[in-house]
Structure 1
Amino acid sequence: MPGPRGTGAVTRSTLRQQIADALRDEVLAGRLQPGQEFTVKEIAEQYGVSATPVREALVDLSAQGLLDADQHRGFRVHEYSLDDFRGIVEARGLVVDGMFHAIGDGRLSRLRSGEARATAALAGVRRRGEEAQRAAGAGDLTVLIGYDLRFWRELSALFGNPYLSDFLHRLRVQSWVCAVQHLRRIRELRGVLWCGHTELVDALSRRDTAAARAIIDAYNAHSLALIERLGAG
């Protein structure tokens, strides 16, 4: 008996996403360096898969700004400049400020099932923040990036706008890709990385948008100062 229609397409789509996620993690881990070149064939052989899902995954990552496509030479990891990082931080700040504006309008309290659901959801986000803070305190950059991305993904999802959530996630991945090339050069990261996740959630739980904005302003200033200092050598 034939299987359900579309199974092959779903499998390929899942594989495509898995490859894209794996390559993104390779870039964030610093194992794929800015400017490093590779071909579809090389990645397909590395993961033991066919070329089609690999090509689709690489095109997806190019659309997200993580790779550059060269029609004749394959792909290379995008090289972000300090000016790029400044622009990304400014953009993510504007998106987050829009989220805080929604809180002021009472949109968060009207989330789906109402106030109780929003409070429970924020508690879950806070747990992600606690893990991120532990990783930051330990100087574990790889673990921090994973929990930080989940933290912001889940926090932005509370506002019920998937376009905003996807855009912020893309900006945060790009900012980490830009920052990681500098941060990986530091032997000891304890006490260097931002760890205000739970403080931010607590401010949002109180609907204290002024405090939340102050936390984000301090975070952005910290990020810019750190990466500009490292980028200057």
Structure 2
Amino acid sequence: MPGTREPFTTPAPAPAPAPAPSLGAGAGAGAGSAFASAAPRPVIQRSSVRGQVLDALRSALVTGDLAPGEVYSAPALGERFGVSATPVREAMQQLANEGAVEVVPNRGFRVIRRGARELAELAEIRALVEMPVMLRLTRTVAAPCWAELRPLAEATVTAAATGDHARYAESDRAFHAAVLALSGNRQLVHLADDLHRRAQWPLAGAPARRPRTDLLADAAQHTALLDALAAQDLPTAQSLIRNHFPGA
């Protein structure tokens, strides 16, 4: 088992009604007690314990604070949150259903190791799902509707500029979901968001946190895409969408 790491803090996603709780870092059942005592307990609102724990764990996956290959026990995480193991176990089971972790009997949950091929496959599927819809919307949605999405695009720029990876991940998905929602197809939005979330998990052996320059480049594509969509500039929109799905 790896040794206990320095505590980490999971920032609140944006936009969100309340900040996600903080986590302390550590790996596996053996490191559970050190993990639990690494930092002060976060305040958990009892009305939505499972949801807040799930949000925090999702942010920790994006930032790499829940590291690929590591095993984390629900009781240790529950002690860290100041809650029982039950909501943590439920949140982890949800992550298992999403393919982020796998159950390790009598120990907890191991974060899945993902390779470059899986990331490329996800990018290809996302491009197949999102690109035709966005290009169709270019022809049918009026410029004022695109202008209403400007704050969402700007939120990704702000998160990128501060290097806040968890906030960027949330704002990135919020922007894409808002664009696709203009299609009126809720099933499409749900499917695309699930694929997008999976694509945000870091690769095994790679730096967990992307360089700020990469985040800024991605965020700039959001604002440029809005400009192209509002102008019904189909060639530019198509080029930007393709560039936005690397490896597709």
TM range, normalised to the smaller chain?
A: 0.7 to 0.9
Per-residue CA shift, 1:68-113, capped at 9, x if unaligned? 122332211111101101101101111112322542673xx4xxxx
- Decide which of 163, 168, 176 is 2:200's aligned counterpart: 176
| 1:146 paired to 2:170 | yes
| 1:160 paired to 2:184 | yes
Q: TM-score normalised to the size of structure 1?
A: 0.74
The alignment partner of 2:212 has SS state of coil
CA pair 88-191 structure 1, distance change in 2 beyond 3 A: closer
Aligned partners of 1:215, 1:119: CA distance in 2, in Å? 20
Partner of 2:228: 203
Partner of 1:131: 155
Partner of 1:48: 82
The code of the aligned residue for 1:175 comes to: A
Per-residue CA shift, 1:40-91, capped at 9, x if unaligned? 2122211122233222211111111211122332211111101101101101
Aligned partners of 1:36, 1:179: CA distance in 2, in Å? 13
CA contact (8 A) 1:37 1:75 kept: yes
**Which one has the bigger helix percentage?**
1
Structure 1: 5+ residue stretches without partners? 1-10, 110-114, 226-233
Partner of 1:112: none
CA contact (8 A) 2:152 2:171 kept: yes
- Decide which of 192, 197, 212 is 1:189's aligned counterpart: 212
Moved over 4 A (4+): 137-140
Aligned partners of 1:183, 1:128: CA distance in 2, in Å? 27
The code of the aligned residue for 1:153 comes to: A
Give the RMSD, CA atoms, in angstroms: 2.9
CA pair 36-16 structure 1, distance change in 2 beyond 3 A: same
Length, aligned pairs only? 202
Structure 2: 5+ residue stretches without partners? 1-44
Partner of 2:105: 71
% identical equivalent positions: 30
The alignment partner of 2:184 has SS state of coil
Q: TM-score normalised to the size of structure 2?
A: 0.70
